[in-house]
Structure 1
């Protein structure tokens, strides 16, 4: 994912592929060379002739203000924002004192952006910590964790897992009842995921905004767990920050890029972000809003507003950006 205006904020979608004959577009496909640097090659990339539609609950933008108004007076609620072939994303409100059971995800990691309130995370192998607004938290596969709202007001988090990721529970925990599901005693491998120098338990993005971020490897990336190799995990989440006053002027002919296999979506961490997604009129998203671009849909993103702006940009695959061809944007 590039730290330029070539990335759009998207709310996770559910596939959104049309079965109509696809028109070919001449574009650049990004590849990583063996030397580690980016290289590009000219290719023919498929695009639906009539464009890609948004399949609910996925939509171009989900406004946090509208969600809060919808659930005014409620302390416990869940709203699915993204549901597609790669990801599932929910906004979840939990009242003071509420606590999840101890649980884990068998095959992939999960991550959260805390939007309001305070959450105590207890993660296997880590000291418990309290995450407030602006915290980014992740847990690798099979690490047992729990969350508890602390303080005197509800907590609000955006939770992202891989599509169809089922939650499992240690044998000494009682699974909550689920409609149509029975929990059976079973055994699984003890092989567990792990943190590393780039994938850390949490990032307090308030420190970055204040000008003194905590150092870590690859500081512009929150999650680096791409759908590559022999194991499928929840993709890549990059932190992209910039000043709208210093970016080049917008060009009408700049379509941005698209992804062939899955969507891209964004969580606005700071300030305002402008999105141009397919035929959707250009719009501006604010802090806490989520934007979504379906697969095979051109999208362009720019910093907006008067101050610094940051988006968390999420895709499933490394080097999956498909750009416009140099001097030729015609379909064949």
Structure 2
């Protein structure tokens, strides 16, 4: 069980199944990362006024700024992104502490461990220890906890469905949530089953970031969450500003930088370079062009979107 973790006997006990993603299993993939192009030219409705970045949203969250804002603290949450589809935070958990057991009703939660060492326990999965670079995916209705088993605060970047309050087992005391009152209930259907075809985790620095081997594949994909792993060599040069890249009419796209240096040109901003642990966002409808900057031999970005596969709109080549 190196890099990817699948259910064992515990899965049968709760009638739940994780499977390898199509990328790793070799099965035919009904939604490949690269699709045939749209036939011919078409009209795309681009917002007349670029979508604004309202707090906490920023075009570029630098990890160094996040850490500086919480210097001397061990337990904190830094909101990074809020939109109609997804919420994202940096989370720090103090030494020896464990999160409350919880789950989400209808959508997965994904997180990337960036510092420290945590024990991740997910219903139906053998508990595992995650360190820097582990990418973890928890399907809906699977109870999970995160325990800091290291000798310093643990840090991770977490993405959830927007405005989605957590649910808790009856044995827990729920945290307060604005506008909601927790009630003890029963429910159905149960945890995600056969249609969940995503790995529980990927150990990025052990299985993907090996030498100068490029990688272009999925991490988690379902009907409400997409995330790829895009690793490649440095570009020979930065493209001219006239190359605006593409835009998405209806969705904000954002990226977590895993290694190297990734350059961005985003509408309304000059070209800039992001570093590991940074988060970059292209607000809905803004032209954007990500690419591996020439200053690092290998770079990896993790794009995160709310739908598979969102439409990329490019200027026609004439």
- How far apart are residue 201 of structure 1 and its match? 0.6
Q: Out of 311-320 and 270-279, give the one that drifted further.
A: 311-320
Q: Distance in 2 between matches of 1:249 and 1:174?
A: 52
Provide the residue aligned with 1:3 in structure 2: none
Does 2:275 align with 1:286?
Answer: yes
Cα offset, 1:110, TM superposition: 0.3
Unpaired runs of 5+ in structure 2?
1-29
User: Mean alpha-carbon deviation: is it higher for 174-183 or for 279-288?
Assistant: 174-183
Q: Which residues of 2 match residues 171-186 of structure 1 at below 5 A?
A: 171-178=170-177, 181-186=180-185
Partner-residue secondary structure (3-state), 2:192: coil
Are positions 1:149 and 2:139 aligned together? no
Deviation at 1:71, TM superposition (A): 0.9
1:193-232 aligned at under 5 Å gives the runs 193-194=192-193, 199-207=198-206, 208-211=208-211, 220-226=217-223
Q: Secondary structure at the match of 1:143?
A: coil
How far off its partner does 1:67 sit?
1.0
Give me the TM-score of the superposition, normalised by structure 2: 0.83
Residue of structure 2 in register with 1:309 after alignment: 299
More displaced 10-residue stretch of structure 1: 55-64 or 313-322:
313-322
Relative distance call for 1:190 and 1:46 in structure 2 (3 A) is: closer
Number of aligned positions between the proteins: 284
Q: Which moved more, 1:172-181 or 1:287-296?
A: 172-181
Q: Which residue of 2 is the match for residue 114 of structure 1?
A: 113
Indicate conservation of the 8 Å contact 1:268/1:312, yes or no.
yes
Residue aligning to 2:19: none
The structure with more strand, counted as a fraction of residues: 1
- CA drift at 1:253: 2.1
From 295, 319, 331, the counterpart of 2:309:
319
191 and 45 in structure 1: CA distance in 2 versus 1, 3 angstrom threshold: same
Q: What is the DSSP-based 3-state SS (H/G/I as helix, E as strand, rest coil) of the residue aligned with 2:254?
A: strand
Calculate the TM-score normalised by the size of structure 1.
Answer: 0.79
1:297 to 286, 297, 310: 286
Maintained 8 Å contact 1:63/1:289: yes
Q: Which residue of structure 2 aligns with residue 237 of structure 1? A: 227
Higher relative contact order (CA 8 A, sep 6+): 1
The change in CA–CA distance for 1:134 and 1:195 in structure 2 (over 3 A counts) is: farther
1:38 corresponds in structure 2 to 36
Q: Hey, what's the Cα distance between the residues in 2 that align with 1:268 and 1:97?
A: 28
Aligned-partner Cα distance in 1 for 2:157–2:273? 20
